[in-house]
Structure 1
């Protein structure tokens, strides 16, 4: 027995459901296959649950600082079961909303199970063969678990979301975005936290001064940071865990271990060899600038294609593919400006090039830096850590890159991202009236201070 569809979407992440609904609305018969939960990492294991927890942690942090604002409170206690319940409620509501939407969509069939190709034009799901004219793969990625940790209890960014107790001492292996967000979050909940980074600095993809400031912020809240912690090993230590590093150079003991050392694409179960779909050197599904694989009727969207590791890049993949197929557009991945945020507090908003990339481009560039201590809104809210940094092309006067590490940095970055996408010059922004009192109002002042990059 088999069924045939115009389009088969495998994976219900941040591209799959929207693409399936768009194709179905265009009159195509569509099958959407999901083996776990609709919404992918963002809804279930990523953005929504973690930012909900971050919000709870921030409230605890602000409550402890109440005296700084002339407010008197009693002792601050965190009820981790209630924190988790709040997170679960929001996640379940979003997941249910997606389920209801997909099930009610005309021309769309939802299939629950794991899909595997049997030929370039067919997959099996729960023993049934589904044939399709086009395929769209949105199967995402999962956490890396290094071999040295396999013999001890460990948490990942997914499983830690199920904790309803406060770790006595949380050990976090990984000095990048996921690890740092959990580090600050759990420190604010009240846990002792140690971060072990394999490299010489945190957030290694950022400029050195950004990395150094992030470390200062976290250490200022009582988080222990250990860098150059390579050659790790782990063992049980009483009712906890001990991690040694540097070939025995150091050792730290904790009650819980969180692994945040990267992610790998979910490709194994797809049996891509049967479809003739190629992978790149890093194991991601290889795609062209329009997200087609080497099989022209098969596309890959989201984390599984290695062209972005964020909810917004996955959703943008959907926009590119759907508009190219249905609207006669010719959109390309290479046209989008890279942008993301790190949700420690204060957040880091990033768009375009960092300093190393600007220098490597060989172009004449300008740079401006303004500490958040010179931003009135930040001082008024007693949250003036960090700085704003912008690079611009000296000849075109267009923005090349933005690093905004400070209060509202993720939001302020968006306006500069749009200016970059539109090719707006810094002079246009400088001449634009901004609203007072805001963080954004200091952007024109920042840009007016652009100087040659030495």
Structure 2
């Protein structure tokens, strides 16, 4: 093996972007991937999930809005074609990553990295990684406690190889993965039961977002149970019997566990000081306890999102290239492709409300002309600002295209704009983006459109 300046282990969004930027900065770089490029996001995460959600949205819109809008049609689902669309989306993303790595001169090594005898090795080639620096970007896997590890249980991974929709499914965990999966299966006619240990679904989001989403899911026929734990799962001949802590027993064809993800790191590191509490710990510069060994993305067990891994990979690449580089790490945008969509960043309101340091205003989606044209009424924009200086510090958007609209709020918060400064910008009409201005007018105390 030739000697490299940097070897990146893991070809997901973090590792690939890190390797490309390093090569752009003149470093001799190799990337090691044991399976397929693109990581969890491309292969069993973001891309296939959103491909299925796109079909689910189209199908639901025709059924739910068609008659109201004058589109009279009988629709059905061909799962085989749906899965072709999903797999095509995966392949395009995967091949796109490989093409970019080659374009920018990154050496691709298909192998598995293990740690033994004090060194990192390519397992199949049985060669030591000959490099000055190593970046661990090995990602994560679905988390399944031993109590739930029953034969035939699904995680999000298994969904993408299904050959038919189940008649019924119990989804354990109502975080972003759980509610997205509930949206998919419900749209395609599966009876869905969603169970969450916390007192509300998407417990990390704004309280009003949780309320709106739960109402929407229930309206569509999803059974939602919060504040209950799964005590036991028993495999039956044709499904599963699940016992809950409130005494209810649920029989479903499938059970999907969506309670989070766990970091994955090279075999052999588990008993070293590099790993603490199941994750590789680093400082703010992504340095581990070992010199010249760095870690980015899900393996750090921090914010497990593809765009965070990418940002960390680019930041590390710039630092290793001697550049002074930073990014807004405190206001990470979060997006959920459920129905209705949810996007948020910054301060959020909890069950206990907001402190007296903040003002808030919630403007309903139903008062937005563009939303009404789209026959979308569920949702809102909530802005939160400091009372002292009127700087906007939080935004939550629930409704159509919320995941796209969010970026205006991200920029506003990152650039520390005040309510008054935001209101200086003219928003085009009729657009969904006007609702952000409407919420800002509400914060100022002069809402015009409600």
Match of 1:287 in 2: 282
Provide the C-alpha distance between the structure 2 equivalents of 1:90 and 1:413, rounded to a whole number of angstroms: 24
Q: CA deviation at 1:131?
A: 2.1
Provide the C-alpha distance between the structure 1 equivalents of 2:350 and 2:219, rounded to a whole number of angstroms: 27
Q: CA deviation at 1:118?
A: 3.5
Match of 2:342 in 1: 348
Match of 1:115 in 2: 113
Unaligned runs of 5+ in 2: 446-450
Match of 1:49 in 2: 48
Secondary structure, counterpart of 1:213 in structure 2: helix
Match of 1:183 in 2: 182
Contact 2:381 2:435 in 1 (8 A): no
Contact 2:383 2:395 in 1 (8 A): yes
Deviations 1:20-54 (A, max 9, x none): 12223333322211111100111111111111100
Match of 2:310 in 1: 315
* Cα root mean square deviation, aligned: 2.2
The normalised TM-score by structure 1 is 0.92
Match of 2:425 in 1: 432
Greater mean deviation of Cα atoms: 381-390 or 22-31: 22-31
Secondary structure, counterpart of 1:407 in structure 2: coil
1:145-164 to structure 2, matched below 5 A, reads 145-164=144-163
Match of 2:70 in 1: 70
Match of 2:274 in 1: 277
Greater mean deviation of Cα atoms: 264-273 or 196-205: 264-273
Q: What count of residue pairs does the alignment treat as equivalent?
A: 443
Provide the C-alpha distance between the structure 1 equivalents of 2:95 and 2:424, rounded to a whole number of angstroms: 46
Provide the C-alpha distance between the structure 2 equivalents of 1:256 and 1:199, rounded to a whole number of angstroms: 22
Contact 1:139 1:266 in 2 (8 A): yes
**Using a 3 Å threshold, how does the CA distance of structure 1 residues 203 and 172 change in structure 2: closer, same or farther?**
same
Provide the C-alpha distance between the structure 1 equivalents of 2:352 and 2:420, rounded to a whole number of angstroms: 20
Deviations 1:308-360 (A, max 9, x none): 2111101111221122222521426x744121111102211101111249978
**Using a 3 Å threshold, how does the CA distance of structure 1 residues 302 and 331 change in structure 2: closer, same or farther?**
same
Match of 1:374 in 2: 367
**Using a 3 Å threshold, how does the CA distance of structure 1 residues 272 and 148 change in structure 2: closer, same or farther?**
closer
Provide the C-alpha distance between the structure 1 equivalents of 2:329 and 2:87, rounded to a whole number of angstroms: 37
Match of 1:235 in 2: 234
Secondary structure, counterpart of 1:111 in structure 2: strand
Provide the C-alpha distance between the structure 2 equivalents of 1:78 and 1:335, rounded to a whole number of angstroms: 41
**Using a 3 Å threshold, how does the CA distance of structure 1 residues 443 and 128 change in structure 2: closer, same or farther?**
same
Deviations 1:92-121 (A, max 9, x none): 122122223334543x32221221234666
Contact 1:152 1:241 in 2 (8 A): no
Match of 2:448 in 1: none
Secondary structure, counterpart of 1:15 in structure 2: helix
1:28-177 to structure 2, matched below 5 A, reads 28-65=27-64, 66-74=66-74, 76-103=75-102, 105-106=104-105, 108-118=106-116, 122-126=120-124, 127-177=126-176
Greater mean deviation of Cα atoms: 158-167 or 316-325: 316-325
Which of the residues 277, 293, 300 maps onto 1:305? 300
Secondary structure, counterpart of 2:193 in structure 1: strand
Greater mean deviation of Cα atoms: 212-221 or 407-416: 407-416
